Amino acid sequence: MILKFLRVLKIVRVAVRYGLDDIAMSGFDTPRISKLIDTLIFWRDISAPRGERLRMALEELGPIFVKFGQVLSTRRDLLPGDMVDELARLQDRVPPFSSELAIAQIEKSLKAHPDDLFASFEREPVASASIAQVHFAVLKDGKEVAVKVLRPGMKKSIDEDVALMHIAAGLVERLWADGRRLKAREVVGEFDKYLHDELDLMREAANGSQLRRNFADSDLLVVPEMYWDYCSPSVIVMERMHGIPISQLDRLRDAGVDLGKLSRDGVEIFFTQVFRDGFFHADMHPGNILVSVAPATFGRYIALDFGIVGTLNDFDKDYLSQNFLAFFQRDYKRVAEAHIESGWAPKETRVDELESAVRACCEPIFDRPLKDISFGQVLLRLFQTSRRFNVEVQPQLVLLQKTLLNVEGLGRQLDPDLDLWKTAKPHLERWMSEQMGWRGLLQHLKIEVPRYSKLLPQLPRLAHQAMTHMIEPRAEHSSELMLQLLAEQRKTNHFLGVVVYLGGGIAVGVLLTLLYLRFGHAIWW
């Protein structure tokens, strides 16, 4: 509790030092309050630009706050341009830790000094992020690689911040009427899981390897190869990728990259990951994306940093695809029905009322270029609608929502005129056809037939086991039941004996009487 209290004090101290209160209150008509605060805290210097102060405050507060700034840096529709430009520096310009610490981490994890492991190792990091930093090196066989090293002491820092988030989430659920519906504690639990997953670089390497396999035959995305002999939970070594950061639009234009095609390819990559694979890169901010200018892979995306990925099961994919297609076709009734059928909205919800509310939110954004659509306003109206109809937030889709915001931010930068709906619709329709049509049926049969071919020969044995399990619970009463059955059988046999003897006697008597009546009189006379 003391550590949590000290962390709260640090957050307050940093906020006051960099004048975050001044930034927060700048949008309100409260000049007197601002002047009063400035008078009380007269010793602080807040003459630096507000964007710079915000960036420096987030850097000082640690990795979770840096990640928050990274997300904000893609939302030019929500923040002023000067603040967004400054926050963009958080994506690959987080202050690095010392090279000595990086070398010590490598030596501890891989049991050898970098000078012995590699033909050459660059002491100065080329990129520094909130969780780790990257150094370039060359293997003994001449292959160029990137060495990613985990920041020392990260687990303690994240544990402290996440603990505060859990406390805040609990207060939200208790004090705010919408807190329970929004499942604040479950949402924080999801982020807690993914943040701690990022601390295991072996998990990141496995994620990258899976994504590379998923796009092995793609001409849209390039994923670096992992060198497993040099990987550990604290250090991973991967193929070095050469490209232009996707945020450097002037360099991309000068290199001859078609930004319009690049924006459409980004949408296709995202929907392919979500609906085909159910496995998607969930940290797609500009600092993690390059564009290849090599002749063999010109114009393709290069994905980096696989610490956070999202997964969707078949139910999630089916629900999302139905909703997306219904949105694209403006079938708001189907959207309402899908929410009720999935249990996201209460069963007693009236379809026509929910349909009308969704139509009012979404109809104004169609047939308009991306630059004219404020998703911030759309999300706000959808939130108000969901609150009215008690629609529950699904924690397993929080990462997908975050990634959608990243995709939107990239789309705005590359091609503000991109029609996101028309670009995405063919991919969704193709996926639905593959899942629901004849191709989907054949694909499912192809998957299930090997399982059934193995199961069928086992059916007699499985049936025998099932019957045995049905009898086993009665085993303790079997002796008593057998005795009762034998007793009943004796009674039955005795009864049958009496019937046989009595019936036989009567039959013999009747027969003798008939014989006597026929022949007895003649004999007598």
d(CA 369, CA 371): 5
How many Cβ atoms are within 10 Å of 223's Cβ, its own excluded?
Answer: 25
Copy the structure tokens of residue 444: 């499912």
Is there a binding annotation on residue 133? yes
> DSSP letters of 221-259?
EE-PPB-GGG--SSEEEEE----EETT-HHHHHHTT--H
For residue 289, give the nearest of 255, 238, 245 by alpha carbon.
245
Is there a binding annotation on residue 522? no
Is there a binding annotation on residue 128? yes
Q: Crossing angle, helix 398-414 and helix 184-198, to 10 degrees?
A: 70
Amino acid identity at 68:
F
d(CA 354, CA 53): 43
How many Cβ atoms are within 10 Å of 39's Cβ, its own excluded?
Answer: 8
Is there a binding annotation on residue 433? no
d(CA 156, CA 262): 40
Is there a binding annotation on residue 148? yes
Is there a binding annotation on residue 184? no
d(CA 514, CA 200): 105
Is there a binding annotation on residue 127? yes
341 contact partners, CB below 8 Å, separation of at least 6: none
What is the residue whose two structure tokens read 């400035």?
A: 38
H-helix segments, 329-437? 332-341, 351-362, 375-388, 398-414, 420-436
Q: Are 226 and 208 in contact (CB under 8 A)?
A: yes
Q: Is 434 helix (H, G, I), strand (E, B) or coil?
A: helix
Number of H helices, E strands in the chain: 24, 11
Residues annotated as part of the active site: 283
Amino acid identity at 205:
A
Is there a binding annotation on residue 130? yes
Is there a binding annotation on residue 169? no
Amino acid identity at 366:
F
Chain length of the chain: 525
Q: Which residues are annotated as a binding site for ATP?
A: 126-134, 148
Q: Which residues are annotated as a binding site?
A: 126-134, 148
